[in-house]
Amino acid sequence: MLEIRHANQRGRAEHGWLSSRHTFSFANYHDPKQNGFSDLLVINDDRVAPGQGFGKHPHRDMEIFSYVLEGSLEHKDTMGTGSVIVPGDVQLMSAGTGVAHSEYNHSPEERVHFLQIWIAPSKMGTPPRYQQRRFGPEDKRGTMRLVMSPDGANDSLILQQDARVYAGLFDGDETAQLDLADDRYAYIHVARGHVTVNGVELNEGDGVRVRDEKQLTFTHGKDAEVIAFDLRNNEQSDLWN
């Protein structure tokens, strides 16, 4: 079963320097029907003005990753990590016992468009950790490339949860299948473009809760970039009930 949440149903926040769309309840946006899905708690679709960004602020006990769609994002944190993230890079920060970071648009001229995504960890109080890896267009073209997993399979980043994250690019006749094990959920987010999943047409910003499906088939893409989450079969994480 596919349950679609259209892009225009998301929460929104406009702060001048920041234009944000919230797939799930976040900050001043609250919808009791949209408090995450399984261990996936946040998908924020952010567009940040040149030279602007999020000042230093703390996190703990959360798996947080940024996925840049256009522009460049500058990251600094109290672990001593500093980097500039561009399209194709995937950054994962395990906040654990506590870490503070800042995220700024690295460019003084162009906006940055990125997704910030939070996944609940399987354990509290772990040491904080930072990971970053590049998955270029050649890795994601016409396939669903594993970018995060609990065991680092296929050179993916190591996520502290029983969840797997895939990313793919689709255009024209390109097609791919993603198999789901028995008793698993999934969530699909269309980061940009248009794509058809199991016969359902989806547009930029659309999301889909997936239950009771054994396979997801991605077809008829038009400049599409898609992120898919393979999740535990529970409506919300046991840690967050």
- Would you state the pLDDT for residue 241? 36
The predicted pLDDT at position 238 comes to 40
- Residues 218, 56: Cα–Cα separation, whole Å: 39
Helix (H, G, I), strand (E, B) or coil at 239: helix
Report DSSP letters for 201-235, one per residue. Answer: EEETT-EEEE-S-SEEEEEEEEEEEEEEEEEESSS
Copy the structure tokens of residue 58.
């703390």
Q: DSSP secondary-structure letter at 236?
A: B
Which three-class secondary structure state does DSSP give residue 152? coil
Q: How far apart are alpha carbons 222 and 192 in whole angstroms?
A: 9
8 Å CB contact between 213 and 1:
yes
Residue ranges, the chain, pLDDT below 70: 235-241
CATH class of 2-240: mainly beta
Closest CA to 101 of 121, 75, 137, 125: 75
